[in-house]
């Protein structure tokens, strides 16, 4: 039996390890460097970065309304982050979360506008409709890859545009009044808004999708690391040849993985319609959540908790930029520079490690990251 | 006098990795102009030590002296500056570049930012003549043989002014003739005054080539001897730590009923050429059938056909009387076929999976590992524990990634897994390739044991000694056909050679 003190020290050591492991330290340093880069840009532009950042972060918690709206801004990023990361774990690069997101919106709008059902059927059905349509949209990409060897990066980018214009066409033809640039409102029975919570948050647009997003983060972990299916997906992602030798159907696994990834993005889109706007607009450009999802998955290291934290950061930065422009008169685009810089520093580990070097005392680090014995 | 000057001296080098001490107080001395062999099993710590000398790793303890001066080698560029060059086992060449471009890469002769290719070609030519390393400076790397690629690697180090050359398993990738050429090159380099370290586990090469030998076992130096005062057996025992049998007794054995049968197998390549052209085989219980033949005569296709990786265009495969022609790899596996693949990294393991994830690669979907769609990690761990103990797979734990294991231990893990699946037919392709004596002995013993337990084994190997050592029958393949059988108890090299060359009159 170990003494309590020893156990405590052991636990403490473990705790420290989590935070000093270079895998989690790099993103943190990257974020700091990103904020510094943004500050330098503001200085060059003649703004006071301290005031600006103060306004940005102040905005997030200024009022119950702002807190609620920050949560709203974070939710779709969780979904698209999960989407990109899920595909990545199976060795696929899903650039198409954007299109899948739009198709998810369309699926939800279709069911929300065209059908009239009791709420306990209608709302879940509209959600599932969005997920399935997003899944199919990504599944096509997976199918092309499995059957024809089409590179998923190319095909998913193209599917983004096809998805956007297809959705515009469907809305314009079947879902809207003549001359309108947006679809009809979805029925109240399909809505995922949480009225009493919005009331409490000064009419911020609160919806059930946030809870579904958190459940999805958990599902992401369970599915990949606890199930037989996830074992197959990861095996195919890490070594398709060995997976094939072991009797796995690599092509089918690729399609499955893309479908699930697309369903995550589709869910994000569905809740934008069912929980936030209540309708879908005809737009010339897609909303951008899918592309931000790539950044979220990258910063989050394709791990479930990492994605959640990254989505919170990017969602917060995006929403807070409004406050920054209002109070400190700094253009909101500066936040895009910050996000861009964070991604840049994540992608270039070398620079981050160089910055970290003077601060780290000598440790016997494994030279090879794969020596880390862990499952995740 | 020159002979006794020291080029490199390592003293008390210790290097730890999590859970393992790769080098434990190693001291090592390389004299000027000598060829010094560094001998040890896979995973003994030879490569780690040389990576320290080349600046890729930093030692935790110990001192390095180059030409008598204590130095810290904090990176390969420092090593190159000190005149140390390394020829890696896996070449580091730019495939679409020419020989000359590869050699001068990093220190190109240039003028105003423009590379002077003519001058580069000339320099390379001069260098290759000086050391009699035949290369054509204008050829692209992707068009030249492996042996020539290795010469390019050697020239690369010489071009950078290396006096101390490290060779990591240089003969592992070469053909028999190329090995002869390489040994000649190394001797002449030493004669030119270069000091050479050669990492190897092949005793024949040590004896043929080196002046002295340092033997490493489990991270420690167990002896340094002059080559002329030792022999193969003594070195093998030093390396493995116990006496080894380099040859085993053989006798005719009783065999059981037919387990596996292939009839008139035909397979077409993408170019519509018949790569399998009517192969028929039978393997009985308790029998090892060896397949001899020059690489590329349909051996891999035969394995792919049997395991269901690639579809046959004709013929029939059956196991235990059950037809499994053109079934999927999953189905052939369930029907009782296990497979030790030729390329263990590509086909045998998921390198970034842990050991316990890897041991169920073919069985994860079955009970007890799969419980209603969820994996039971405790069961996987239990199996991994059992197999790693039973087969002596050395690692820093069952939750280590397969990537961090040495080649021999990776192979042991694969063999453990495939035998645990209790197959009727075990297909082993080059099961001992790239392994050291200890591991080879172990693998061969396990295969014999499996045979004695009544399994049918199909052994494909390009090492003739191994085929004769293990097989009960040997069939020779040539251009997608079985052209004849030879008796392993009466080895007739001439007849075998003729069969391998396709002469069916033999």
For position B206, what pLDDT does the model report? 87
Best probe of the A interface among B51, B361, B399, B409, by most A CBs < 10 A, is B361
CB–CB contact A245 B341 (8 Å): yes
- Candidates B16, B307, B349; nearest CB to A364: B16
For position A254, what pLDDT does the model report? 95
- pLDDT per residue as tens digits for the range B264-289: 999 988 778 888 999 999 999 999 99
pLDDT higher than 80, residue A231: yes
Q: Identify the contact set of chain A against chain B, taking CB-CB distances under 8 A.
A: 226-232, 234-235, 238-239, 241-249, 364, 366-368, 370-375
The overall average pLDDT reported for chain B is 86
The overall average pLDDT reported for chain A is 86
Q: How big is the A-B interface in CB pairs under 8 Å?
A: 97
The topology under which CATH files domain B2-240 is Rossmann fold (3.40.50)
- Candidates A230, A238, A246; nearest CB to B362: A246
pLDDT band at A96, cuts 50/70/90? very high
For position A1, what pLDDT does the model report? 42
Check if the beta carbon of residue A229 is closer than 8 Å to that of residue B364.
no
Residues 370-429 of B with CB under 8 A from A: 370, 373-375, 377, 396-397, 399-401, 403-404
- Candidates A242, A367, A373; nearest CB to B348: A242
Q: How large is the average pLDDT for residues B345-373? A: 91
Check if the beta carbon of residue A206 is closer than 8 Å to that of residue A198.
yes
Check if the beta carbon of residue B52 is closer than 8 Å to that of residue B13.
yes
Distance from the Cα of A226 to chain B's closest Cα (Å) equals 6
Check if the beta carbon of residue B155 is closer than 8 Å to that of residue B135.
yes
Best probe of the B interface among A231, A250, A363, A372, by most B CBs < 10 A, is A231
Which residues does chain B have within 8 Å of residue A371's beta carbon, measured at their own beta carbons?
17-18, 396, 400-401, 404
B231 vs A370, more confident: B231
pLDDT band at B247, cuts 50/70/90? low
Q: How many helices (H) and strands (E) does chain A have?
A: 16, 0
For position B305, what pLDDT does the model report? 92
Q: How large is the average pLDDT for residues B288-316? A: 89
For position B358, what pLDDT does the model report? 94
For position B251, what pLDDT does the model report? 61
Best probe of the B interface among A22, A222, A228, by most B CBs < 10 A, is A228
Say yes or no: B362 contacts chain A, CB-CB below 8 A: yes
Q: Among candidates A371, A171, A131, which has minimal Cα distance to A261?
A: A131
- Candidates B18, B329, B399; nearest CB to A244: B329
Q: How large is the average pLDDT for residues B8-31? A: 87
pLDDT higher than 70, residue A16: no
For position B479, what pLDDT does the model report? 86
pLDDT higher than 60, residue B67: yes
pLDDT higher than 90, residue A178: no
Which residues does chain B have within 8 Å of residue A226's beta carbon, measured at their own beta carbons?
374-375
Residues contacting residue B357 through CB under 8 Å, at least 6 positions apart: A231, A375, B350, B380
Domain ranges of chain B: 2-240, 258-336+423-506, 349-422
Check if the beta carbon of residue A366 is closer than 8 Å to that of residue A50.
no
pLDDT higher than 70, residue A17: no
Distance from the Cα of B336 to chain A's closest Cα (Å) equals 13
Q: How large is the average pLDDT for residues B320-345? A: 91
For position A12, what pLDDT does the model report? 47
For position A361, what pLDDT does the model report? 47
Rounded distance between C-alpha atoms, residue A166 and residue A286, angstroms:
12
User: Which chain B residue lies closest to A245 (C-alpha atoms)?
Assistant: B347
Q: Comparing A100-114, B45-59, B228-242, which segment has the lowest mean pLDDT? A: B228-242
Rounded distance between C-alpha atoms, residue B118 and residue B102, angstroms:
14
For position B245, what pLDDT does the model report? 58
CB–CB contact B330 A235 (8 Å): no
- pLDDT per residue as tens digits for the range B113-149: 787 888 888 888 888 888 888 888 888 888 887 778 8
Task: Tell me A174's DSSP state.
Answer: I
pTM of the prediction? Answer: 0.73
- B45 dihedral zone (left: phi>0; alpha: psi -120 to 50; beta): left
- pLDDT per residue as tens digits for the range A40-52: 999 998 889 999 9
Say yes or no: B113 contacts chain A, CB-CB below 8 A: no
Q: Which helix (H) or strand (E) holds B432?
A: none
Please check whether the two domains, B2-240 and B258-336+423-506, share a CATH topology: yes
CB–CB contact B374 A238 (8 Å): no
pLDDT band at B420, cuts 50/70/90? very high
CB–CB contact B399 A375 (8 Å): yes
Distance from the Cα of B348 to chain A's closest Cα (Å) equals 6
For position B469, what pLDDT does the model report? 86
Rounded distance between C-alpha atoms, residue A69 and residue A160, angstroms:
27
- pLDDT per residue as tens digits for the range A152-176: 999 999 999 999 999 999 998 888 8
Check if the beta carbon of residue A193 is closer than 8 Å to that of residue A205.
yes
Which residues does chain A have within 8 Å of residue B347's beta carbon, measured at their own beta carbons?
241-242, 245
- Candidates B60, B350, B374; nearest CB to A239: B350
Check if the beta carbon of residue B387 is closer than 8 Å to that of residue B453.
no
For position A285, what pLDDT does the model report? 84
pLDDT higher than 90, residue A284: no
Highest mean pLDDT among A302-316, B90-104, B196-210, B396-410 belongs to A302-316
pLDDT higher than 50, residue A138: yes
Instruction: Return the CATH architecture of domain B258-336+423-506.
Output: 3-Layer(aba) Sandwich (3.40)
Dump the DSSP string for A305-362.
Answer: HHHHHHHHHHHHHHHHHHHHHHHS---THHHHHHHHHHHHHHH-HHHHHHHHGGGSPP
Using DSSP's 3-state secondary structure scheme, residue B455 falls into coil
Q: Comparing A272-276, A342-346, B279-283, which segment has the lowest mean pLDDT? A: A342-346
Q: Comparing A107-121, A177-191, A352-366, B227-241, which segment has the lowest mean pLDDT? A: A352-366
Q: Among candidates B419, B230, B416, B275, which has minimal Cα distance to B337?
A: B419
């Amino acid at each position: 039996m170990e003494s309590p003190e020893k156990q405590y020290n052991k636990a403490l050591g473990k705790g420290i390890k989590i935070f000093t492991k270079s895998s989690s330290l790099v993103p943190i340093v990257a974020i700091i460097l990103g904020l510094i880069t943004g500050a330098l840009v503001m200085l060059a532009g003649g703004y006071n970065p301290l005031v600006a950042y103060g306004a940005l972060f102040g905005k997030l918690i200024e009022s119950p309304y702002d807190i609620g709206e920050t949560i709203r801004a974070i939710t779709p990023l969780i979904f698209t982050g999960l989407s990109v990361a899920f595909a990545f774990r199976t060795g696929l690069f899903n650039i198409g979360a954007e299109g899948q997101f739009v198709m998810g919106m369309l699926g939800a709008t279709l069911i929300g506008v065209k059908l009239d059902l009791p709420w306990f059927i209608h709302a879940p059905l509209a959600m599932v409709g969005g997920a399935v349509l997003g899944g199919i949209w990504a599944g096509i990409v997976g199918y092309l890859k499995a059957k024809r060897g089409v590179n998923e990066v190319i095909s998913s980018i193209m599917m983004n545009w096809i998805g956007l214009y297809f959705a515009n066409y469907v809305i314009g033809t079947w879902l809207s009044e003549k001359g309108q640039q947006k679809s009809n409102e979805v029925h109240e029975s399909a809505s995922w808004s949480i009225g009493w919570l919005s009331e409490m948050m000064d009419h911020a647009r609160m919806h059930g999708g946030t809870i579904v997003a958190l459940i999805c983060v958990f599902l992401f972990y369970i599915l990949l690391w606890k199930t037989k299916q996830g074992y197959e997906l990861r095996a195919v992602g890490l070594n398709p040849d060995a997976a094939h030798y072991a009797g796995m159907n690599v092509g089918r696994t690729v399609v499955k993985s893309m479908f699930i990834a697309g369903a995550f993005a589709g869910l994000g889109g569905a809740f934008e319609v069912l929980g936030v706007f209540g309708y879908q607009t005809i737009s010339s450009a897609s909303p951008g959540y899918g592309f931000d999802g790539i950044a979220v998955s990258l910063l989050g290291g394709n791990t479930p908790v990492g994605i959640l934290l990254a989505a919170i950061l990017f969602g917060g930065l995006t929403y807070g930029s409004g406050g920054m422009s209002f109070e400190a008169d700094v253009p909101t685009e500066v936040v895009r520079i910050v996000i861009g810089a964070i991604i840049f520093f994540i992608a270039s580990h070398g620079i981050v490690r160089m910055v970290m070097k003077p601060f780290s005392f000598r440790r016997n680090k494994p030279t090879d990251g794969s020596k880390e014995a862990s499952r995740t | 006098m020159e002979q006794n000057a020291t080029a490199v001296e390592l003293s008390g080098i210790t290097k730890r990795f999590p859970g393992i001490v790769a080098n434990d107080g190693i001291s090592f001395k390389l004299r000027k102009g000598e060829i010094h062999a560094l001998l040890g099993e896979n995973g003994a710590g030879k490569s780690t030590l040389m990576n320290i000398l080349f600046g890729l790793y930093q030692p935790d303890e110990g001192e390095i002296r180059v030409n008598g001066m204590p130095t810290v080698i904090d990176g390969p560029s420092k090593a190159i500056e000190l005149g140390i060059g390394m020829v890696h086992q896996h070449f580091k060449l730019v495939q679409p570049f020419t020989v000359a471009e590869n050699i001068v890469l990093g220190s190109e002769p240039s003028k105003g930012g423009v590379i002077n290719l003519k001058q580069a070609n000339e320099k390379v030519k001069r260098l290759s003549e000086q050391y009699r390393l035949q290369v054509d400076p204008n050829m692209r790397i992707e068009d030249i043989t492996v042996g020539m690629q290795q010469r390019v690697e050697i020239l690369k180090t010489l071009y950078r002014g290396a006096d101390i050359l490290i060779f990591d398993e240089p003969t592992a990738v070469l053909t028999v003739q190329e090995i002869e050429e390489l040994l000649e090159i190394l001797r002449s380099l030493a004669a030119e005054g270069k000091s050479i370290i050669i990492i190897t586990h092949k005793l024949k090469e040590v004896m043929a080539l080196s002046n002295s030998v340092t033997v490493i076992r489990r991270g420690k130096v167990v002896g340094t001897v002059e080559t002329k005062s030792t022999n193969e057996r003594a070195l093998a025992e030093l390396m493995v730590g116990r006496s080894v049998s380099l040859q085993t007794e053989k006798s005719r054995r009783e065999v059981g009923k037919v387990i596996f049968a292939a009839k008139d197998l035909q397979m077409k390549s993408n170019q519509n050429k018949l790569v399998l052209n009517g192969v028929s085989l039978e393997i009985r219980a308790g029998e090892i059938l060896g397949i001899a033949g020059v690489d590329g005569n349909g051996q891999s296709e035969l394995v792919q056909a049997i395991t269901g990786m690639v579809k046959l265009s004709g013929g029939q495969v059956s196991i235990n009387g059950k037809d499994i022609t053109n079934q999927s790899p999953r189905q052939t596996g369930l029907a009782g076929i296990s497979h030790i693949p030729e390329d263990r990294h590509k086909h045998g393991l998921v390198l970034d999976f842990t050991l316990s994830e890897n041991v169920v690669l073919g069985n994860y979907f079955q009970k007890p590992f799969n419980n209603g769609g969820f994996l039971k990690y405790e069961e996987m761990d239990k199996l991994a524990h059992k197999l790693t103990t039973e087969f002596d797979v050395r690692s820093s734990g069952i939750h280590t990634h397969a990537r961090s294991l040495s080649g021999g231990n990776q192979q042991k893990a694969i063999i453990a897994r495939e035998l645990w699946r209790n197959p009727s037919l075990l297909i082993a392709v080059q099961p001992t390739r790239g392994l050291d004596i200890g591991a080879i002995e172990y693998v061969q013993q396990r295969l014999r044991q499996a045979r004695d337990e009544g399994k049918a084994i199909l052994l494909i190997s390009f090492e003739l000694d191994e085929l004769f050592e293990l097989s009960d029958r040997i069939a020779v393949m040539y251009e997608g056909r079985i052209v004849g059988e030879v008796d392993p108890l009466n080895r007739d090299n001439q007849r075998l050679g003729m069969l391998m060359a396709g002469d069916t009159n033999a």
